[in-house]
């Protein structure tokens, strides 16, 4: 590139910069001439923001935090006894794998847990009903369903207390699934560890109804712990039931042997009829054997129960939701400021766009 070309390029850049500054001045002067229109639209945005603030319902957040205390069952000579009754393959209690790491947090957000929470009977506005009925009520879903002409079942849809989940109709299933999706996708429910190194878990739920938020969090925690406890100790409880059945069977044999032994106590034992004492001796030996085995079974049954108690996890509630809950609402001042800025920005954008378009068409 020669010297003349460089000079021309610099001159073109200067001209472009001067034109840009000139256009900016023209735009500013044009906006100043339209200040009344801008002011009107800005005030309109302020009014709209105020109306939105007044019409927007506040949201209430229920907070709960807990710590999970894990416990493990003891061993000892229990495995030897279990093997003698064919229980060695089954003994060992619940598995921790399903609840290790962040799996418990996923279980709290699972469809099963949330649905069971929504189907929990509660007292809401003085009436005993399932929690899902409260959700339908404060979200005014029935008012919308009445206008639905495609699905007549929606107009009379309800979730009676005690109705089994497997008896739900297709519409009931569909509504329950939609409620679950809305809770999860809207991030109304958030569950997270306070710190990855700690076992403390924070649970927050936000809704437009203060009472519902509190009831939902409390019952979600109760359902989660119930599922966790029953799953983790299921095998131990099964072992106890089987051992208890063995104990009852041995006790029955022991008592029957005692009765038979008593039936032989009146036999006239002499030198010629000593063989008559054989049945009595047999029954006494059987009774003694059954008594010994029964004692050992009872001893180890108690050991199983102690192991179950040690294995049962404990959830320590640290913070529980209390009224009044944290309330989040779009403030009047904030809404008016946002509305005014948005209204002014839109009208400025429109005026400048119209001005430059008109100039472009004239050229």
Whole-number pLDDT of residue 179: 97
pLDDT surpasses 80 at 225: yes
134 and 254 assigned to the same domain:
no
Quick one: average pLDDT of 211-224?
Answer: 96
Whole-number pLDDT of residue 339: 87
Least confident of 32-41, 76-85, 94-103, 310-319: 76-85
Quick one: average pLDDT of 179-207?
Answer: 89
Quick one: average pLDDT of 39-44?
Answer: 90
Confirm if 61 and 326 have CB atoms less than 8 A apart. yes
The answer to whether residue 147 sits within a structural domain is yes
Q: Whole-angstrom Cα distance, residue 217 to residue 201? A: 13
Highest mean pLDDT among 128-142, 225-239, 275-289: 128-142
Residues 68-89 pLDDT 10s: 776 654 444 444 444 444 444 4
Whole-number pLDDT of residue 71: 60
Tell me the CB-side half-sphere exposure of residue 61, using CA atoms within 13 A: 13
The answer to whether residue 88 sits within a structural domain is yes
pLDDT surpasses 60 at 352: yes
Least confident of 51-60, 79-88, 295-304: 79-88
pLDDT band at 272 (very low <50, low <70, confident <90, very high): very low
Whole-number pLDDT of residue 79: 44
pLDDT band at 220 (very low <50, low <70, confident <90, very high): very high
242 and 199 assigned to the same domain:
no
Q: Whole-angstrom Cα distance, residue 147 to residue 139? A: 15
Tell me the CB-side half-sphere exposure of residue 11, using CA atoms within 13 A: 6
How many angstroms separate the first and last alpha carbons of the chain?
Answer: 33
Whole-number pLDDT of residue 309: 77
248 and 113 assigned to the same domain:
no
10 and 94 assigned to the same domain:
no
The answer to whether residue 316 sits within a structural domain is no
Domain total of the chain = 3
Residue 218 or 55, more confident = 218
The answer to whether residue 148 sits within a structural domain is yes
Whole-number pLDDT of residue 254: 79
68 and 49 assigned to the same domain:
no
**Whether pTM exceeds 0.85:** no
Whole-number pLDDT of residue 76: 44
Q: Whole-angstrom Cα distance, residue 319 to residue 97? A: 27
217 and 291 assigned to the same domain:
no
Residue 14 or 131, more confident = 131
42 and 156 assigned to the same domain:
no
The answer to whether residue 185 sits within a structural domain is yes
Whole-number pLDDT of residue 70: 64
Whole-number pLDDT of residue 263: 63
Confirm if 103 and 143 have CB atoms less than 8 A apart. no
The answer to whether residue 48 sits within a structural domain is yes
Highest mean pLDDT among 45-54, 72-81, 84-93, 257-266: 45-54
74 and 155 assigned to the same domain:
yes
194 and 282 assigned to the same domain:
no
Residues 3-13 pLDDT 10s: 555 545 545 55
44 and 106 assigned to the same domain:
no
189 and 301 assigned to the same domain:
no
Name the residue range of residue 281's domain: 237-311
Average per-residue pLDDT for the chain: 81
Whole-number pLDDT of residue 74: 47
Least confident of 168-177, 229-238, 313-322: 229-238
pLDDT surpasses 70 at 100: no
Quick one: average pLDDT of 149-162?
Answer: 90
pLDDT surpasses 80 at 105: yes
Residues 273-296 pLDDT 10s: 554 555 666 777 777 877 888 888
Confirm if 133 and 116 have CB atoms less than 8 A apart. no
67 and 162 assigned to the same domain:
yes
């Amino acid at each position: 590139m020669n010297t003349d070309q460089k000079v021309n390029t610099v001159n073109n850049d200067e001209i472009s910069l001067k034109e840009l500054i000139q256009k900016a001045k023209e735009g500013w002067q044009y906006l100043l001439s339209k200040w009344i229109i801008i002011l009107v639209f800005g005030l309109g945005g302020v009014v709209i923001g105020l109306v939105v603030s007044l019409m927007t319902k506040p949201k209430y957040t229920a907070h709960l935090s807990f710590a999970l205390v894990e416990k493990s069952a003891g061993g000892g000579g229990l495995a030897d006894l279990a093997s003698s009754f064919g229980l060695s393959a089954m003994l060992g209690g619940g598995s921790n794998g399903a609840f290790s790491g962040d799996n418990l947090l996923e279980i709290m957000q699972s469809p099963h847990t949330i649905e069971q929470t929504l189907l929990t009977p509660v007292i809401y506005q003085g009436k005993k009903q399932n929690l899902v009925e409260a959700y339908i009520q404060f979200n005014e879903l029935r008012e919308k369903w009445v206008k639905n002409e495609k699905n007549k079942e929606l107009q009379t849809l309800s979730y009676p207390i005690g109705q089994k989940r497997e008896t739900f109709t297709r519409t009931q299933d569909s509504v329950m699934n939609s409620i679950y999706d809305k809770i999860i996708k809207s991030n109304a429910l958030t569950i997270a560890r306070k710190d990855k190194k700690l076992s403390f878990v924070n649970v927050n739920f936000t809704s437009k109804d203060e009472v519902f938020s509190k009831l939902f969090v409390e019952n979600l925690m109760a359902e989660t712990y119930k599922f966790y406890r029953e799953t983790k100790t299921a095998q131990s409880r099964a072992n106890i039931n089987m051992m208890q059945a063995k104990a009852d069977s041995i006790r029955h044999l022991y008592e029957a042997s005692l009765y038979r032994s008593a039936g032989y106590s009146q036999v006239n034992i002499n030198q010629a009829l000593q063989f008559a004492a054989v049945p009595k001796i047999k029954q006494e030996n059987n009774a003694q054997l059954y008594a010994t085995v029964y004692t050992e079974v009872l001893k180890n049954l108690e050991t199983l129960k102690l192991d179950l108690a040690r294995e049962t996890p404990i959830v320590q509630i640290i913070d529980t939701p209390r009224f009044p809950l944290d309330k989040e609402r779009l403030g009047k001042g904030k809404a008016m400021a946002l509305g005014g800025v948005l209204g002014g920005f839109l009208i400025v954008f429109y005026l400048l766009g119209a001005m430059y378009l008109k100039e472009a068409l004239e050229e």
